[in-house]
């Protein structure tokens, strides 16, 4: 038992004044003789099988190529006198060392995740406020939790881990979130009151007698279990009284970025096929769950609203439209989890903002290409 501890400590590179562990297993081995500090593995179950999208496109982005992945890396960590630092909620040990795999950081200016060497917790620790929590607190922090997808897939499944393992806690430590409506509503579906939540902050370090931290879903490549646990806790809370058209088009007209420039023409085309325009901002989470659970066909530009594909029934037809320079496999992934009938096509950049990150850029949809994709999917115009 002692030899692994010595080896683990020797691999921890302390190139700064605080030091770090690259992952929870390195930390766990280093404290293996300390009482009440441990790491419990968590089994995410079945392998994920991803099939190639159906499409008219001759070149499919390599993010969407088929593969099979056996999920691994799940765990729940228990840290005595653990710390949560800064607004993003970086996880620190009792002696102040960063645990990197529990503390992802995103650079919004460069639109990428930061490397370990770039992590701000390594050399920026001037806190104006230190908050001590008596008892057990569960940390569910994630740098992108204000985004609906990351809330659903990087925060709530970790709460689901605590729930199904019956791990007790008095408080939840979470990031500040401007979208309080979906936070409050979804926490309620998991049986948690928002009054138990303690928020991180730029000038705050939170310390708990016992800190419980489930593993980050992103590090396990979002296994099918993540979609399954969302369905378990959230489907029972859907609003069955909500009007639920069978064919829906998800509009981004109320979003701040990545609009379809010719959306009016797209809507007129889709209306001929019986699609109904939906702005998800106008719907509660319970209504959105019902909407997607009842839909037979969904057309949408790439966007966080498609996280609700988690609630679709097997075989639901999905057409996702990507900006040609911004292809992210997130909702293809969810579609494979639920065995949906998934199609994709590219939209073209509007050409007016060449220096803008493509994920923020508006784009055009080729109407002929869209109609051909609908035909490929077996959809026919509806007689009025």
Q: pLDDT-derived band of residue 32, with 50, 70 and 90 as boundaries? A: low
Residue 360 or 189, more confident: 189
Instruction: Grade residue 384 by pLDDT with cuts at 50, 70 and 90.
Output: low
pLDDT score recorded for residue 15: 44
The band of 30, judged by pLDDT with boundaries at 50, 70 and 90, is confident
pLDDT for 151-201, tens place per residue?
A: 999 999 999 999 999 999 999 999 998 777 899 999 999 999 989 999 999
Question: Cα separation of 261 and 163, whole Å?
Answer: 44
Given pLDDT bands bounded at 50, 70 and 90, which one contains residue 4? very low
Kindly state the tokens that stand for 357.
């990150």
| Residue 227 pLDDT | 98
- 90 DSSP β-pair partners: 85
Q: Quick check: 127 pLDDT over 80? A: no
- Residue 105 CA to residue 95 CA, distance in Å, equals 21
Helix (H) or strand (E) holding 41: strand 38-41
Looking up tokens 């115009």 gives: 381
Average pLDDT, the chain: 91
**Contact (CB, 8 A) for 230 and 309:** no
The pTM assigned to this predicted structure is 0.91
Residue 134 has pLDDT above 60, yes or no: yes
Strand locations in 100-246 (E): 106-107, 112-113, 129-139, 171-174, 197-199, 204-214
CA angle, corner 182, sides to 205 and 145, nearest 5? 40
Q: Kindly report, residue by residue over 235-283, the tens digit of the pLDDT.
A: 999 999 998 999 999 999 998 889 999 999 999 999 999 999 999 999 9
Does residue 16 surpass a pLDDT of 70?
A: no
Strands 112-113 and 106-107: antiparallel
- Report the pLDDT value the prediction gives residue 7, as an integer from 0 to 100: 31
In this prediction, residue 383 carries a pLDDT of: 67
Give the residue among 131, 100, 123, 125 at the shortest CA–CA distance from 207: 131
Q: What mean pLDDT do residues 132-158 have?
A: 97
The one-character DSSP state at 56 is S
């Amino acid at each position: 038992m002692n030899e692994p501890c010595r080896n683990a400590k020797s691999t921890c590179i302390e190139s700064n004044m605080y030091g770090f562990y690259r992952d929870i297993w390195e930390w766990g081995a280093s404290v293996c003789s300390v009482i009440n500090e441990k790491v419990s593995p968590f089994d995410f179950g079945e392998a994920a099988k991803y099939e190639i999208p159906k499409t008219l496109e001759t070149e499919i982005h390599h993010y969407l190529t088929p593969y099979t992945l056996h999920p691994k890396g799940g765990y729940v960590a228990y840290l005595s006198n653990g710390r949560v630092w800064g607004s993003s909620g970086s996880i620190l040990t009792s002696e102040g060392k960063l645990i990197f795999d529990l503390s992802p950081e995103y650079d919004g200016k460069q639109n990428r995740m930061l490397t370990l060497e770039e992590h701000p917790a390594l050399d920026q620790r001037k806190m104006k406020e230190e908050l001590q929590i008596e008892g057990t607190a569960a940390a569910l922090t994630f740098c992108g939790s204000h985004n609906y997808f990351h809330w659903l897939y990087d925060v709530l499944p970790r709460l689901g881990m605590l729930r199904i393992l019956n791990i007790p806690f008095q408080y939840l430590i979470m990031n500040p979130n401007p979208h309080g409506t979906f936070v409050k509503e979804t926490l309620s579906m998991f049986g948690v009151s928002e009054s138990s939540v303690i928020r991180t902050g730029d000038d705050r370090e939170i310390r708990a007698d016992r800190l419980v931290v489930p593993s980050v879903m992103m590090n396990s490549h979002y296994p099918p279990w993540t979609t399954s646990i969302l369905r378990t806790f959230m489907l029972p809370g859907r609003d069955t009284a909500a009007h639920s058209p069978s064919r829906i088009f998800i509009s981004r007209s109320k979003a701040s970025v990545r609009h379809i420039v010719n959306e009016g023409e797209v809507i007129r085309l889709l209306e001929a096929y019986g699609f109904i325009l939906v702005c998800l901002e106008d719907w509660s989470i319970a209504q959105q769950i019902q909407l997607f659970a009842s839909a037979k066909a969904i057309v949408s530009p790439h966007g966080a609203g498609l996280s609700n594909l988690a609630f679709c029934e097997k075989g639901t037809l999905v057409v996702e439209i990507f900006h040609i320079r911004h292809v992210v496999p997130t909702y293809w992934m969810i579609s494979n989890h639920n065995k949906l009938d998934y199609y994709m096509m590219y939209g073209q950049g509007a050409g007016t903002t060449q220096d803008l990150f493509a994920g923020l850029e508006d784009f055009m949809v080729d109407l002929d290409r869209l109609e051909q994709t609908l035909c490929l999917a077996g959809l026919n115009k509806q007689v009025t």
